[in-house]
Amino acid sequence: MLNIDDDQMSQDIFSCKLTCIPDQRYQLRANDVTTSPSFLVQESYKTVCPEVDNINMPLFNQGVQMYEITAAMPQYRSFSNWRSENNTGCPHLSPYYWDFSNVQIDTDTRPIMQSAKAKLYSTGGKRKDSRISILILISFTLEGKSKGMLDSEMGTILKVRFADVTSPIQVQYQFKGRKPGISLPEPQTVTRTNMAVEWNTDDFSWTDGDYNVIFLQVTSNSTRPLHLEHISLERRPMLPDTIMQVFKGDDTIVEVVFSDFWWTNPDAMTVHIAATGKSYDNVSYFRVYRPIPWSDGYAQVFVLYQDGNARLLPVPPQGLDWIPFGSSVIIGQTDPTVVRPYASITEAFIDETNLKIDLKYMDGGSCKLSIASSLSETRVTVSDIKLSRNPMMYPFATFRSMYVEEGNSDVDSVMVNGVLPHHIMDDFPYLIGRSFVFHRKCMSRHLMLSPDIYIDIRRTDVRETTIEPTNSFQTLIQRIQNHRYRLWTPRLRYTYPRL
């Protein structure tokens, strides 16, 4: 419910000057005190890009046996449904890793050109039977899975273009990347009628742990100096997703989706469908649809990615065809010290009739999901949880979302046990609770109707009752905070309560 002054609404609606009254349902989510509380760790950092998941909050509980994730419509009311991407403030997502123009080729071993990620050298070549023999070297770095990126994982295209070609130029391409040693030579010829050549390098050729190097052996009998007009390295084009409907019933549709290149490759997920007995390998993610009561359409209510990221939606309100996803929850244990956490799922067994899913993870863990979707909310119950790694070092779930500023966020607040509200960017090391509500107090222009997310701990092992953090957990928190502070200058020092 919002207390709105109509005259001020248009200018205040996205600046969070509105008075936001908490919805009563927030006070009804706290659990019975017989369950042991969880630690919600603050790992978020600032961003100016609305498409970056800078809100990162892992949840730790040494005895968790069952918890619920619920998606419900935001507490504010809106007659708009803004749902498009917003790349304002985002870095230009160019496919080019580096490029150099008008290169003056000589035999000096110093770098003659350099950019933020690459250096270009040229030196004398080994061929003595040609008037011109030059070796061009380009050393460069690429970001990969360790930083949640694809650059070092995907194949590339190297493009080389000469100008003013009067005599054929032989260019031999080799590289040093992920594998030991240097690749086999790949020669091509530049002529007056074909002054541009290119080479395709396969996926998984480059490394993110060291420098990559490209070697171009250039030879020619030209009597004039060679003019290298342009040289660039770019990511290969990404093909569209392939979508396959694997089940359609009266009230449920299930689709599996295959991405051209999934970021955790070669990790892969196999999906098994109970109704047909069929299995599908190398699935990037699958999605579940439920019917929209006031139309003949269907709406997505649940999506689960191979990396453990789950997204939930309630059925769209009357008059709308779909509403956008926003925040997500990683179901499964992750490494909280990496830039982009993930929980690799190897198998998903889907009982589409009862909307139940069994998951198996690459680390040996497993759990069961049960989905219940209604007009007011979609709820996923996670039970039969088997954690294969230390639960106080590797969280059982991780909340992920986005916050740029008030009125431009997918979440701006978290409420603990129904009574302790905190701004999502507050600088607390961790919070202790049994029920967490991630919501927006202020109407947002970004994915306006994306849902609030509740995470409720429903059952824990009664033998695990310690709520004070261990020394090893405190060490982990310090590692997380040190990493976080490198990304973000804290906005506020915060004294956190203890139960």
Residue 47 lies in a domain: yes
Q: Would you state the structure tokens that stand for residue 289, as one six-digit string?
A: 């649809």
> Which residues touch 21 (CB under 8 Å, ≥6 apart)?
1, 2, 3
Let me know whether 288 and 397 are in one domain.
Answer: yes
3-state secondary structure 128-176: CCCCEEEEEEEEECCCCHHHCCCCCCCCEEEEEEEECCCCCEEEEEEEE
Torsion of CA 456, 458, 463, 468, to 10 degrees: 20
Q: Collapse the DSSP code of 450 into the 3-class scheme (helix H, G, I; strand E, B; otherwise coil) and give the result.
A: coil
Q: How many CB atoms neighbour CB 479 within 10 A?
A: 12
**What domain range includes position 366?**
29-83+239-487
Let me know whether 448 and 331 are in one domain.
Answer: yes
Let me know whether 294 and 348 are in one domain.
Answer: yes
Let me know whether 332 and 413 are in one domain.
Answer: yes
Q: Which of 207, 235, 263 is the last residue of a domain?
A: 235
Looking at residue 16, its pLDDT comes to 54
Query: What total of structural domains would you count in the chain?
Result: 2
- Which one-letter amino acid corresponds to residue 235? R
Residue 3 lies in a domain: no
Alpha-carbon distance 385 to 407, whole Å?
Answer: 37
Let me know whether 228 and 246 are in one domain.
Answer: no
Let me know whether 105 and 66 are in one domain.
Answer: no
Looking at residue 423, its pLDDT comes to 94
Looking at residue 12, its pLDDT comes to 47
Looking at residue 494, its pLDDT comes to 33
Let me know whether 205 and 250 are in one domain.
Answer: no
Residue 2 lies in a domain: no
> Which residues touch 482 (CB under 8 Å, ≥6 apart)?
none
pLDDT tens for the chain, residues 1 to 499? 333 344 444 444 444 544 344 444 544 454 455 678 899 999 998 888 887 889 999 999 999 999 999 999 888 776 666 566 666 667 656 788 999 999 877 655 556 788 888 999 888 877 777 888 899 999 999 988 877 888 999 999 999 999 989 999 999 999 999 999 999 999 999 999 999 999 999 999 999 989 999 999 999 988 888 889 999 999 999 999 999 999 999 899 999 999 999 999 889 999 999 999 999 999 999 999 999 887 888 999 999 999 999 999 998 877 777 788 899 999 999 999 888 899 999 999 999 999 999 999 999 999 999 999 988 899 999 999 999 999 999 999 999 999 998 888 899 999 999 888 899 999 888 999 999 999 988 888 878 778 999 999 999 986 655 666 778 888 888 888 777 765 554 333 333 333 2
Q: Which of 191, 216, 235 is the last residue of a domain?
A: 235
Q: Which of 235, 263, 278 is the last residue of a domain?
A: 235
* Residue pLDDT, tens place only, 277-287: 999 999 999 99
CATH number at residue 246: 2.70.98
Residue 438 lies in a domain: yes
CATH number at residue 142: 2.60.120
Let me know whether 398 and 441 are in one domain.
Answer: yes
Looking at residue 383, its pLDDT comes to 97
Residue 341 lies in a domain: yes
Residue 19 lies in a domain: no
Residue 434 lies in a domain: yes
Let me know whether 225 and 275 are in one domain.
Answer: no
**CA diameter of the chain:** 87
Let me know whether 116 and 154 are in one domain.
Answer: yes
Closest-CA residue to 414 (of 439, 431, 395, 396): 439
Residue 495 lies in a domain: no
- Which one-letter amino acid corresponds to residue 239? L
Looking at residue 84, its pLDDT comes to 65
Closest-CA residue to 399 (of 470, 324, 484, 312): 312
Looking at residue 498, its pLDDT comes to 31
Q: Would you state the structure tokens that stand for residue 421, as one six-digit string?
A: 């509200």
Q: What angle do CA 394, 398, 401 make, to 5 degrees?
A: 150
Let me know whether 149 and 249 are in one domain.
Answer: no
Pairing status of strand 227-235 against strand 186-190: unpaired
Let me know whether 75 and 108 are in one domain.
Answer: no
Alpha-carbon distance 252 to 245, whole Å?
Answer: 11
* Residue pLDDT, tens place only, 76-121: 776 666 566 666 667 656 788 999 999 877 655 556 788 888 999 8
